[in-house]
A and B are shown apart, each in its own frame.
Chain A
Amino acid sequence: MSMYIIIVGGGNVGIQLAKRLIARNNEVLVLEKDVRQAQKLGNLIGDQHILYGDGCDILIQKEAGFKRADIVVSVTGEDEDNLICCQLAKEVWDVKRVVARVNDPSHEEIFREIGIDDTVSSTGIIFSLIDQQIASDELIPIGHLHRGHVEVVESLLSEKSPLIGQAVRDITLPQGSFIVYIFRGGTGQQVNGDTEFQPGDMVVAMVPTARAEELRTVFADVS
């Protein structure tokens, strides 16, 4: 199904996104507020896909057709611009789905509270990739499902983990959460009640986001 997708911010992220979406036969419009960058983008992906103007300006939003947009994606380098753009899209134009790039991971919560469920933070992703290398017994979020209500997490078990030697059926997990997978010795293993945790296991679990803290205490090294 072809959609009308508006991308605010014609930097690298915006332009790569636009190219892929156009290739999939969507109707795509990129809003760029720097006139020279807008001209450059016009030559790159076609003038019909570019609108020069501030994506947070309600008159520009009107001209761009926010009212009929299926999705508005705001991927500028400034969190405040992405937040206000998406908030106006939701509140003024009633856009059903908005996606925002978040540069400062500590802002993700604000975006969610304001009602912008879909956020993408490259800083957060890169940090968790690095963090995975160094941290043991911590829950690392690796993705969200159901608009952020369910979290997929993984944890590398150290020798000090309280789970070592216990079987899956013996541990108490927060309501609604379960262990889905264990990576052991380089291969993935299915999990059943008899599976015993070993040091070096990479455990993948799913948990309702509201209970992620509870799950954290199950995995925590309490020593």
Chain B
Amino acid sequence: MKVVILGCGRSGASLAVQLSSLGHTVTVIERSPESLRRLGKSYPCRIVLGNGLDLDTLERADVANCDAFFAMTRGDNTNLMAAQIVKRNFKVERVAVKVADPLRSEAYRRLGLFTINAAALISGMCRDWLLNAEFQPVDTYNVNAMEIEV
């Protein structure tokens, strides 16, 4: 598959390396060249340097022709905006968004984005591990305790 990953932090870089080694065609968008060291000595993927909210940058990464897009920067708002641009303007259907804030993650999940929240995922998996319960689908983990009343 052709995959575009926005953000070469720990999770973005790790995903890029894993998917590349499985033979998928990976493009990483990253604005700081220093972060690319996380990919290891021989880059397993294509690099596009630039701002992921910039339409030109997304075009250079050929987002329109990818099978999946991952928004993995450390900025929740950057990820949420990039994901919506990619869905609406580039008509990509499989879009996953890393969101650090559990409430924002939940709010956008309700709006139809596939959001992944580390706090919800880690706490839920620790719970399931302790109770010897089966791990659940990724998008069912959420931080119930912080449910807001609107």
Which A residues fall within an 8 A CB radius of B?
Answer: 56-59, 62, 67, 78-81, 83-84, 87-88, 91-93, 104, 106-107, 110, 113-114
Contact = CB atoms under 8 A, between A and B. Distances in A.
Interface stretch (B32-40, B75-83, B136-144): B75-83
A114 to B, nearest CB: 6
Contacts of A84: 76-77, 80-81, 104
B55 interface: yes
Q: Is the interface of B mostly helix, strand, loop or mixed?
A: helix
Contacts, number: 56
A107 B73 CA distance: 19
Given A58-B107, A80-B80, A92 B150 contact: yes
A39 to B, nearest CB: 24
Contacts of A107: 53
Contacts of B84: 110, 114
B25 to A, nearest CB: 27
- 7 nearest interchain CB pairs? A80-B77, A80-B81, A58-B103, A84-B77, A80-B78, A83-B81, A81-B77
A92 B108 CA distance: 10
Interface size class of B (residues with CB under 8 A): 20 to 34
B133 interface: no
A78 B150 contact: no
B64 interface: no
Contact of A106 (B55, B81, B148): B55
A58 B55 contact: no
B81, B107, B111: most-surrounded residue (chain A CB, <10 A): B81
Given A58-B148, A84-B80, A104-B53, 17 more contacts: A56-B76, A56-B104, A57-B103, A58-B101, A58-B104, A58-B107, A62-B150, A79-B81, A83-B80, A83-B81, A84-B76, A84-B81, A91-B107, A92-B107, A106-B55, A110-B84, A114-B84
